[in-house]
Amino acid sequence: MNYSNSSDLFYNGTANKIANVLQAVNYETSLVYQVVFVLSGLVGLSLNMCFILVFMATSSLRTVMNQFLVSLALADSLNSVIAMIFLPFPTEEKAAWLCGLKGLIGCCSMMAQVMSILLVTFDRFISIVFPFNYTTWVTQRWVNFTISAAWLYTVIVGSFGGIQCLQAWYPGGKCVITEIVAAWYNTVYIIHYVGLFIIMAFAYGKIGSIILHHRRQIAAAVAPEQAASEDLKIQLKVTKDVFVVVCTSMFCLGLIPIHLMLYHVTNLPLPKMRLVRNFFMLSNCIFDPIIYFLRFKDFQSAFKSIVGRIVNPHQN
């Protein structure tokens, strides 16, 4: 294969495209950017792994809904790795496999968050709208299947970018995704994000109407217990907390499809917007586990218990 013309190799003759991409990532080589993103990525990874470890160490936390939140925490951890290793450093790679791995993880990380939020939304929708069918429909086997299928789908979609980076790499070249593959992946991601937004609007709109109806029942009831079952009250409380998590994620990730659309429409690198987009994407990885611990009392209790056993292992 002839590697003499890298712009032809990457963008089928559109030489200005690769120049735009490289111009867009020049700021990523600055020391301040590297330090901020490495430290922030480390914080995000540590917080999400702490959440996952508390879940694994506490049997009472292994509920269906929490398993979907763990899937989201894994996706956030993947994005934290991206922030620590791939975003802050130059795009040159010494080996084809490393370039391919960068493309694979980069493409998988964003899609994994979208799919995990979708699973959480479906779980909350069924638990509130179909409360009497929830335990029979959402079984452990179903949870295992949906989470596995979502991650398998994510890896399949991301593999297009990884395989392309692996094949297009050449010694001394830049590890970037071709314009054709980038346009395809960006379109797929935008469609998924917009679809998720519509599904969330419908699902949480329906849940919101049920919450309002529940409050009216409480106001009209002689005794609160006449309004609704205790189980429904618990599910509504959990759903409100989950709503805060998924809305925070959707807000922080919202700049990604906007930036991708503007980039392809204007044919400009938009480096400042790319910087803000990456900042919000990384902030989401930090905000999610903080919200878990602030709003979910069970996680707070489990975390304090684990820390107490570590500090004082002889305490009963």
Per-residue pLDDT tens digits for 115-165: 999 999 999 999 888 888 888 999 999 999 999 999 999 999 888 877 877
Average pLDDT for residues 164-189, to the nearest whole number?
72
Per-residue pLDDT tens digits for 42-76: 899 999 999 999 999 888 888 888 999 999 999 99
Which pair of structure tokens corresponds to residue 88?
């802050």
Average pLDDT for residues 69-86, to the nearest whole number?
83
- Contact by Cβ (8 Å): 254, 236: no
Q: Residue 248: what residue type?
A: T
Per-residue pLDDT tens digits for 194-223: 999 999 999 999 988 888 877 776 666 545
- Contact by Cβ (8 Å): 99, 166: yes
Q: Residue 287: what residue type?
A: F
Q: What is residue 144's predicted lDDT score, i.e. its pLDDT?
A: 94
Confidence of residue 88 (pLDDT cuts 50, 70, 90): low
Per-residue pLDDT tens digits for 287-307: 989 988 888 888 888 888 888
The closest of 244, 200, 204, 236 to 217, measured between CA atoms, is 236
Q: What is residue 73's predicted lDDT score, i.e. its pLDDT?
A: 92
Residue located via tokens 């398998």? 152
Alpha-carbon distances of 42 from 76, 86, 91, 213, rounded to whole Å: 12, 13, 20, 43
Confidence of residue 170 (pLDDT cuts 50, 70, 90): low
Residue 96, pLDDT > 60, answer yes
Per-residue pLDDT tens digits for 225-252: 544 566 667 777 788 888 888 888 888 8
Minimum mean pLDDT range among 18-22, 180-184, 214-218, 249-253: 18-22
Q: Is 92 helix (H, G, I), strand (E, B) or coil?
A: strand
Q: What is residue 93's predicted lDDT score, i.e. its pLDDT?
A: 55
Residue 284, pLDDT > 80, answer yes
